[in-house]
Amino acid sequence: MSRTKPSPDEALAESFCEMLLVERGASERTVRNYGRDVGRFGAWLSKKKTSLTKAGRDDVAGYLAHLHDTGRSAATAALCLSALRQFYAFAFEDGATSENPTLTIEAPKTRRPLPKTLSPEEVGRLLDLSEAEAAGGEPGALRFHALMTILYATGLRVSELVSLPRVALRDGEPWLRVVGKGDKERLVPLTDEAISAAALYLAEGRARFTKAPDNPFLFASNGKDGHLTAARFAQLLKDAASRAGIARERVSPHVLRHAFATHLLEGGADLRAVQQLLGHADITTTQIYTHVTRERLARVLEEKHPLNAA
């Protein structure tokens, strides 16, 4: 039985997927998703008695409107448009189309979700709990208190925190040397509490977590990574949240990073300073926290202003 010859649209879509896989090294999942989006657009076009190679700007805009009308989210439509942009860039360069109909199409506006955070009082409860438990001298409690205080004092990414080298903490220096994304190094100031907690952990707790005297990590481990994993720390943090009377699902290392940034801005910190502390390359990434503080201020006004009193 002979295989049915693919239509020009199908052949072009197959060539596009092959290019993504072979030339760009895209993952199979990405290729599958892009191929699906192009295929669905092609099927929609066929009902309109046209095709991928003949589609114009109005067809692309009409399809995005169709996605909206059928209940698809703006994020889904934006991803679809991204796939079509790459497909038509390929088709135009290949000579299969005389124009790229996606060039002047604006992506659907997506509302970036505001980062989840905790109140200063809730973070205080977590810190008080970890300090009280560390007072017993148990190595795990000493390590957790050091992790907690350093994280809230610096706003590090959890990957940066758990993989800190031992030399990141230098005796007598109130600074932490952090290598972040893109191997960029930054200096982050430490609070006195974080310095004290780290020093106590180093003196009385760290040796219990590694058998290797030359282990280079601050939060050393006998595991394959040589240091505490992000997943394990997240689990410890959720367990602590339960003991502090905070819902487990509300707490994660990233939520504490958000809390660090939000609380600094609420306290009047400069946005540029917070950007540097977080290690953001682009300040627009940091600006999302200003929306969190505005929402909180609006709630305070609504709840506390005498004209709004019941």
Residue positions annotated with a catalytic role: 157, 181, 254, 257, 280, 289
Angle made by CA atoms 182, 115, 147, in degrees to the nearest 5: 65
Query: Tokens 């929306």 map to which residue?
Result: 291
Q: Rounded to whole angstroms, how far apart are CA atoms 274 and 289? A: 10
Q: Rounded to whole angstroms, how far apart are CA atoms 183 and 187? A: 13
Displacement of CA 39 from its chain's centroid (Å): 30
Q: Rounded to whole angstroms, how far apart are CA atoms 237 and 99? A: 54
Residues 6+ apart with CB under 8 A from 102: 57, 60, 81, 84, 85, 88
Burial label, 280 (beta-carbon count in 10 A; 0-12, 13-18, 19+): middle
Mind giving me the DSSP string for 106-123? PPPP--PPPPP---HHHH
Q: Are 205 and 197 in contact (CB under 8 A)?
A: no
